[in-house]
Amino acid sequence: MTLRDTLSLSFRTVRSNRLRTGITVAIIALGITALIGINTAIVAIKQKFLESFSSMGAMGFTIRYQEPRRNFNNDEIKKEKKGAKKEKKSNMGRPITEKQAEAFKEAYKFPALVSANLMGTRNAIVAYGNKKTNPNVWVVGGDENYTSLNGFTVLFGRDLNTLDIQSSRNVCLIGSDVATRFFGENVERPLDKVIRIDNIPFRIIGTLKPKGSTFGRSLDNVIITSYTNVRRFFNNNPNASFNIQVKVPDIKYVDGAIGEATGVFRTIRQLSVTETDNFKIDKSDSFAEMLIRNLSFITVAALLIGVITLVGAAIGLMNIMLVAVTERTKEIGLVKAIGGKRKNVRYQFLYESIIISLLGAAFGIVLGVILGNIVGLLLSTSFVIPWDWVFTGVFICTLVGLLAGLYPAIKAAKLNPIEALRYE
């Protein structure tokens, strides 16, 4: 028997046992679908997350308020190591104030863009005429550099300027979702119109270019005004803390910029040499790195789910192949009687096992890519195929088919042709 004959016979046998083959293929496909689907979704999430931080990328960092560390009794932890810096009680729990943020902008002389911002509300109601939005519009307080450092682009009109911040006049920039709801697709129409945010009138000075969504939240359902307005109308909590964003022109300046920013802000926060920092500096790309590290655990979990399912599928496939050996004992005897060798019988059963396993891989890969890209569709990312995991899935299934079919194939090849022909 030639290789072609052996393969042809294997395909015919697989086709003739459709129910048995279908059940095994479904079990294998389930494991591969979990493996490919989860990893496709992870690739889409990574892509969206990196896009979200691409505005500042590796060239930016954020100075934010650091919550005081506490033990289980809510008492402040004291440093016990000799020579370590101590935390000053008067400095602990102090948010970054508007004056401190403005003082930093004034004192920081490094060649970089600096922006102070304050979160307003996540559930504002915006109204214009007889129309109003759901209570889900985000209001953010920024300055003249906020849009540049957060990936927003003014599509029509103008950006906030220093006078807007200093005078606290009621002007704002609106995202494309808000603009479309009230004024349609014409980006010029909203200019100079007065909308009401939580019943407070604001004049529109610009519309923003669409950014899409991330993690199910639209980045265009937003209104940007000055942080002075946010402090006045939308966030008068005395414990609310400002964030300060810094972006340097080149990645090689980041470490130097962070060092100088630390020194300047320690002075502003009135920290002595022996006191620890009561603020935190985060590199912009560190958020993406942190997410990717966390997603790696999900990847491992997906791999474990896939492997456990495939081990079960391999056991099921081996049982099916052993049953097939028993059912086709007379056929094996006939093959040997007409000149078939042991290796021909062995290869036939191995090919059958591998074909079933690869069919499961094919269905699983297609389903996994589709399910994973449904997540990508919700996140508005491009179509992704994790080729490394696709090839890994094919390799694993080939190995499963080979291992599951090896023992039944050897058993079939060892059958005595005379006894096999007499088997009923």
Within 80-170, strands assigned E span 113-124, 126-128, 131-132, 137-142, 154-157
Number of neighbouring beta carbons within 10 Å of residue 94: 17
Q: SS3 of 1, please?
A: coil
Q: What is the pLDDT of residue 388?
A: 85
Higher pLDDT, 349 or 359: 359
Q: SS3 of 243, please?
A: strand
Give the helix, strand, coil percentages of the chain, each rounded to 5.
Answer: 55, 15, 30
> What pTM did the predictor assign?
0.59
Give me 287's structure tokens: 């958020």
Of the listed ranges 8-17, 18-27, 202-211, 403-412, the one predicted with least confidence: 8-17
∠ CA(280), CA(285), CA(288), 5° rounding?
105
**102 has which bridge partners?**
none
Q: What is the pLDDT of residue 142?
A: 94
Evaluate the CA torsion angle 134, 140, 141, 146 in order and state its sign. negative
Q: Taking residues 314-340, what's their average pLDDT?
A: 72
Give the highest mean pLDDT range of 301-305, 338-342, 393-397, 412-416: 393-397
Q: What is the pLDDT of residue 77?
A: 44
Q: What is the DSSP letter of 216?
A: T
Work out the pLDDT band at 215, boundaries 50, 70, 90. Answer: low
Q: What is the pLDDT of residue 306?
A: 73
Of the listed ranges 211-220, 252-261, 392-401, the one predicted with least confidence: 211-220
pLDDT in tens, 176-200: 999 999 998 887 889 999 999 999 9
Number of neighbouring beta carbons within 10 Å of residue 342: 14
Where do the domains of the chain lie?
3-54+290-422, 91-277
* d(C-alpha 187, C-alpha 197), whole Å: 20
What are the CA-CA distances from residue 110 to residues 253, 260, 385, 406 (Å)?
A: 9, 8, 43, 68
**115 has which bridge partners?**
245
Indicate the helix (H) or strand (E) that contains 298.
Answer: helix 284-327
pLDDT in tens, 35-92: 888 888 888 877 776 666 555 456 788 998 876 655 444 444 444 444 445 555 444 5
Higher pLDDT, 301 or 259: 259
Evaluate the CA torsion angle 339, 341, 344, 345 in order and state its sign. positive
